[in-house]
Structure 1
Amino acid sequence: MSQRISAQRMSWGLLALSFLLLAFGLGVLALRSSQTGVTQSVLQPLAYLPWVAAVAAAAMFLQAMLLRCRVSPWLLPFSFFFASVGLVEIARLKPILFIPQLRWLLIGMTAFLVVLRCGRSIVELTSYQYMLGLSCLVLLALPLLFGTEIGGSRNWLVLGPVQVQPSEFSKILLVLFLSAYLADHEEVLTSEKHHFLLFRLPPLRFIAPLLCIWGMAILMFVVARDLGSALLFFGIAVFMTYMATGSRSYVFIALLVFVAAAAASYALFGHVRVRFDIWLNPWADPNGMAYQVVQSLFAFGSGGVWGTGFAHGHPGLIPEVHTDFIFAAIAEELGLIGSLTLLLGYAVFFLIGIRSALSGETMERILLSAGASVVFLLQAFIIMAGVTKFLPLTGITLPFVSYGGSSMVSSYLLLGLLAVLSQRKGGHAA
């Protein structure tokens, strides 16, 4: 009991720290604006303070409700810590997008509340596993048929004034489908009946859905030019399959398929060659196709250990810095210390989710919690690796931090699902 009360108090402290961080960042920007007259002057307190107050009130309400429902007290405070970092950076980099991001945060919290209210019904959707899998594939296919190319990737649907990225929501359906399918076929998938080269696998009909998911991820890479989402979906499928079966054969086969497909794509498609050539040697074209990567590396180099200081760097030199490259801006102005703090936050957030998964009552709930946790950590790793040139440049967002409505709403939908699954016995929905 005392440990739980202590955890609740510390979670309130993290929530308060998140909003102190936001207030401090906005104060620094206001002071900087008054001294230099730079573009931050478009941030008028009378315009954004009502939105900030609404976000703060919603956060406190949701946290109180979660504690009353005996849900993990850490999930929401960590998400607000990430969101506060993102809001401060967006106010610094693209002031005109600060209020829209606050709106998306409120919409995300509303989606989080809806999931909490309907959590049990959503979990019960896993009974319709093949409908979930089909819905996931349909969402992924929509941009290929009706999408608009933005930033070099055909992964957007333009609905009037709103731009929607279906892959952000299809990853939730993917986690639901895989958790249900893998739990339902655990015994068959772990049985070794057929030999394939050096591997021992069950009959093809039982692994066909997994091959379909892997194939769709590769198709996204080749046709939609969406390397980030392809790596994310592929990684989710591989991680969840391994967690369910413990079989390394699936991992090796998946890697072999991916490497073979990547090699074929490199040989057949020009845009794939360009992406990989930039990764291998961005200095061959620093002012052209590799400009973003080169500027990102310069940002990391100039940031050093301690950073140049908030609002004292030049992250605006990086195109689309408020979305794909926001981690580079954090590294430049907050340095290695700030970057590692954010990275450690995602790692702790992942461990909280895994701890929730280990306390699950059924294999399905265990896989669902673990899969949701993997999504956050894997997505953060892929984009961080992309901006540091550890992996080829990707086009996904840093969860809760980067600007984007689809990313924010889908992240809170997934967080709501994780919160429902972390609910202790004796708790009740709001």
Structure 2
Amino acid sequence: MTTQPQAPVTVTPPLPNRRNAELLLLGFATVITAAAFAIVQANQERSVGWALLDYTAGFLAVFGVAHLAIRRYAPYADPLLLPIVALLNGLGLVMIHRLDLDERLAEGSGRAVTNPQILWTLVGVGAFSFVVIALKDHRQLARYGYVCGLTGLVFLAIPALLPRSLSEQNGAKIWIRLPGFSIQPAEFSKILLLIFFAAVLVAKRGLFTSAGKHVLGMDLPRPRDLAPLLGAWVASIGVMVFEKDLGTSLLLYASFLVVVYLATQRFSWVVIGLVLFTLGSIAAYHIFDHLRVRVQTWLDPFADPDGAGYQIVQSLFSFATGGVFGTGLGNGQPDTVPAAATDFITAAFGEELGLVGLAGILMLYTIVIVRGMRTAIAVRDSFGKLLAAGLASTLAIQLFIVVGGVTNLIPLTGLTTPWMSYGGSSLLANYVLLAILVRISHAARRPFRPRSGNTAPIATTNTEVIERV
């Protein structure tokens, strides 16, 4: 009796997960942050002592914990996401510290905001690590799509129902203000509603892809299928009208339209959505005074430079002062812009780092957005594709709204710059957003191993092939 020779066992070497590269980039981000802090201290004629080493070691330790969570629970996640966000967060802390020094020098008793922001950074990184560890599979979120949608709408509605003393600041009712603590629930609503949009679009894809009449080269949806679009429109217009928050309204609605287009590939949905939003905005402009003031200030901020247009005028002066290369960290006067640590932190960077420095910061954001879109392309499941694309698109839209507002390209909205601006709600929510994106990138880049048989090679995703090249 003869035996057939067995096929040789193919041993495929494990794919690199790039965790060491991530750690190296985190060290590089720490060095840049420490150097920026030292430059601010020197230009403000403050001592640069051993405290710098303590802050540097603490910064690296905090993000080192997040790195260890990724290394253990999401080893194939994109190695660029966490280091870039750490650098953005570090530069934001440096600029907030620089503005805090000016405030205390000018007034003598200004409230320091650097220490609370450091505390919120710790909380945000802790929340990031928790989500990475607890969320075993991003597809679990699809099961709670309707719960997330309802919770997101409740978060949006709470500030509108509260009295002005507990919810209104700078004319916008977007806060929940308690003694010693305040939170902006809309920051969390954007994540919850994105999960809801992605889950519904995957489950009800036929509803959105059903075509009605063919008009002007577009397949229009049937009238009875417009209910989800009308619901999102009513919610966004409600936020604009009752909470006086143009930025959140624009962000939520634009994110919804992007996800709908990605799911259906039908441009008609986008056209209908834009037409509805335009009609609603025009009606709100003629009915509500606060929207009319925002638009008029955008059209001509110098008509009232000491009143309604003061913020945007000072912001434009900051960009003009910075020029191409900036005045240098610690050498400008960014404190002349109201809310420089929150809504106008990009104007502060524009003055002290100039066009070149601000372009570098925007390039960092662009890398995060592109890597998010790349994750959406590589991940295998439809829900993950829509969610990753929605999260990345939300970052892009928010960045456009913020930078467009402070440069007077679009009306000022009051949104904050992700991971850089002062504010605990924004920082915490964006770290949760990053954790979900990291989780999806781990699923996208993870090698696919067959369940049985030892002769088949290990299949890889497109992303992993690119990484190996």
Does TM, scored on the shorter chain, surpass 0.5?
yes
1:102 aligns with 118
Q: By percentage of residues, which structure has more helix?
A: 1
1:92 aligns with 98
Query: Is it true that 1:54 corresponds to 2:58 in the alignment?
Result: yes
| Number of corresponding residues | 420
The amino acid across from 1:150 in the alignment is Q
| Superimposed CA distance per residue, residues 265-296 of structure 1 (whole angstroms, 9 cap, x where no aligned partner) | 11111111100000000010011110000000
Query: Is it true that 1:73 corresponds to 2:73 in the alignment?
Result: no
| Superimposed CA distance per residue, residues 142-191 of structure 1 (whole angstroms, 9 cap, x where no aligned partner) | 11001511122110001321110000000010110011011112233112
Please say which of residues 287-296 and 63-72 is displaced more in the overlay: 63-72
Deviation at 1:14, TM superposition (A): 2.8
* In 2: Cα distance, 1:278 partner to 1:315 partner: 21
Deviation at 1:131, TM superposition (A): 2.4
Which of the numbers 43, 46, 67 marks the counterpart of 1:63? 67
| 1:421–1:128 Cα change, 3 Å | same
* In 2: Cα distance, 1:262 partner to 1:202 partner: 23
Please say which of residues 144-153 and 128-137 is displaced more in the overlay: 128-137
1:25 aligns with 36
* In 1: Cα distance, 2:426 partner to 2:131 partner: 16
* In 2: Cα distance, 1:205 partner to 1:88 partner: 53
| 1:323–1:53 Cα change, 3 Å | same
Please say which of residues 229-238 and 56-65 is displaced more in the overlay: 56-65
1:51 and 1:99 in contact (8 A); partners too: no
* In 2: Cα distance, 1:337 partner to 1:177 partner: 39
The amino acid across from 2:30 in the alignment is F
1:101 and 1:403 in contact (8 A); partners too: yes
Q: Secondary structure at the match of 1:34?
A: coil
Query: Is it true that 1:142 corresponds to 2:146 in the alignment?
Result: no
2:183 and 2:425 in contact (8 A); partners too: yes
| 1:403–1:49 Cα change, 3 Å | farther
Query: Is it true that 1:291 corresponds to 2:302 in the alignment?
Result: no
1:238 aligns with 257
1:87 and 1:98 in contact (8 A); partners too: yes
1:307 and 1:333 in contact (8 A); partners too: yes
1:38 aligns with none
Deviation at 1:231, TM superposition (A): 1.1
1:308 aligns with 327
Which of the numbers 165, 172, 189 marks the counterpart of 1:170? 189
Query: Is it true that 1:364 corresponds to 2:383 in the alignment?
Result: yes
2:219 and 2:266 in contact (8 A); partners too: no
Q: Secondary structure at the match of 1:420?
A: helix
2:376 and 2:386 in contact (8 A); partners too: yes
* In 1: Cα distance, 2:259 partner to 2:287 partner: 31
* In 1: Cα distance, 2:274 partner to 2:148 partner: 25
Instruction: Give the alignment of 1:81-230 within 5 angstroms.
Output: 81-95=87-101, 96-120=112-136, 123-146=139-162, 147-193=166-212, 200-230=219-249
| 1:97–1:234 Cα change, 3 Å | same
Structure possessing the higher radius of gyration over alpha carbons: 2
* In 2: Cα distance, 1:150 partner to 1:49 partner: 38
1:52 and 1:102 in contact (8 A); partners too: no
Q: Provide TM-score, normalisation by structure 2.
A: 0.84
Q: Secondary structure at the match of 1:158?
A: strand
The amino acid across from 2:181 in the alignment is V
1:282 aligns with 301
Deviation at 1:4, TM superposition (A): 6.9
| 1:2–1:264 Cα change, 3 Å | farther
CA RMSD, 1 decimal: 2.5
Instruction: Give the alignment of 1:371-390 within 5 angstroms.
Output: 371-390=390-409
| 1:148–1:335 Cα change, 3 Å | same
1:357 and 1:369 in contact (8 A); partners too: yes
Instruction: Give the alignment of 1:411-422 within 5 angstroms.
Output: 411-422=430-441
| Superimposed CA distance per residue, residues 203-230 of structure 1 (whole angstroms, 9 cap, x where no aligned partner) | 4454312321222112111221111111
Please say which of residues 244-253 and 143-152 is displaced more in the overlay: 143-152
Please say which of residues 16-25 and 285-294 is displaced more in the overlay: 16-25
Please say which of residues 320-329 and 262-271 is displaced more in the overlay: 262-271
Deviation at 1:344, TM superposition (A): 1.0
Deviation at 1:196, TM superposition (A): 8.3
2:30 and 2:59 in contact (8 A); partners too: no
| Superimposed CA distance per residue, residues 61-111 of structure 1 (whole angstroms, 9 cap, x where no aligned partner) | 322442442211111101101101101110111252112111111100110
Where structure 2 has 5 or more consecutive residues not aligned to the other structure, the ranges are 1-11, 102-111, 449-469
Please say which of residues 206-215 and 391-400 is displaced more in the overlay: 206-215
Query: Is it true that 1:425 corresponds to 2:446 in the alignment?
Result: yes
Please say which of residues 105-114 and 194-203 is displaced more in the overlay: 194-203
* In 2: Cα distance, 1:141 partner to 1:45 partner: 48
Please say which of residues 339-348 and 17-26 is displaced more in the overlay: 17-26
1:55 and 1:106 in contact (8 A); partners too: no
* In 2: Cα distance, 1:226 partner to 1:76 partner: 30
1:193 and 1:201 in contact (8 A); partners too: yes
* In 1: Cα distance, 2:44 partner to 2:13 partner: 46
